A = this chain, B = another copy of it.
Amino acid sequence: MAKHINLNRLAYFTAVVETRSFTAAAQRLSTTKAVVSQQVARLEEEIGTTLLIRTTRNVHATEAGLAFYARCITILREAEDAFDALAERAVKPSGLLRITATFDYGISVIVPKIAAFTALYPACEVDLSLSDERIDLVSSNIDMAIRVGWLSDSTLQARRIDSFRQILVASPQMAPAVSHLDSPRALETLPFVANSALRHPLHWNFSHGEDDPIAVRLRAAVSIDATLGVLAAVQAGAGLSVLPDYIAAPLIGSGELIHVLPDWSLPIGGIFVVFPAARYRPAHARAFVDLLSTPAKRCYCR
């Protein structure tokens, strides 16, 4: 068996056959005739067959050369098509985009974005997986994950696409107990719905203007490991809790929740999009991130 086949030489050979000239072939390939001559010579050497008969004035293919040429052009045509298809895919978003996001942010922010995205790029399909677990992007073949809070795993490529405020809320039925509060200290005796998905569900730093933040340790009446569950508990009157603005703001606006201690603020969190460690991002992923990064016209608080 021959060592290895060098497919790159096929292009030189076909160019010579088609132009019936080494010089013209060199021009078409924008190289020199010496290179074309050498490449074709090596091709013939590799396959041990004379493909072209050259005189100083004329070039034409042998019988074997003609048969080989016929195969070459289909091979080259197919290769070109394959590369073109990739290039098109790289430029024009298409195909299936697999996303994972947390329940809360996914439902309230990502789903509307996806709707806008598929309207913009009809060639794209989106598969959204809502889960608060940290799924392995590679083994699940996921193009991007939307993660809320603070990044822990640093091996993956991430990009901050948004930030969120955390808001202390209560149900309107608790208004009598919370509307007169003027310091976070007073919260320590009130029932609190803990979000056990957080790293420190009961420890909160409240800031007021330029003053130093006040660290408060709350008392968990209920612990739930999903933000939307916390919301339900709060709405059911189980206690106060902290919710991200993208959840709380609409409900505060509609009066379904009340903003407790509105002059005090909690740390700002980040929304990150995380990618598998791929060198080149597919076009649909790039396009979706662009859409995510465009400033939404939402203005939850204030």
Hey, which bits of chain A sit against chain B, CB under 8 A? Answer: 2, 4-8, 10, 41, 44-45, 47-50, 53-55, 58, 60, 62-64, 67-68, 71-72, 74-75, 78-83, 85-87, 89-90, 95-96, 138-139, 141, 276-282
Contact = CB atoms under 8 A, between A and B. Distances in A.
Contacts of A89: 49, 64, 67
A208 B68 CA distance: 57
Contacts of A276: 53
B139 A83 contact: no
A54 B276 CA distance: 9
B82 A49 contact: no
Instruction: Report how many copies the assembly holds.
Output: 2
A74 B78 contact: yes
- Of A5, A81, A96, most B-chain CB atoms within 10 Å: A5
A228 to B, nearest CB: 31
B96 A48 contact: no
Contact of A5 (B6, B63, B68, B80): B80
Contact of A83 (B47, B95, B138): B47
B279 A44 contact: yes
A138 B282 contact: no
B82 A50 contact: no
Given A49-B90, A86-B49, A282 B64 contact: yes
A127 to B, nearest CB: 11
A216 B25 CA distance: 57
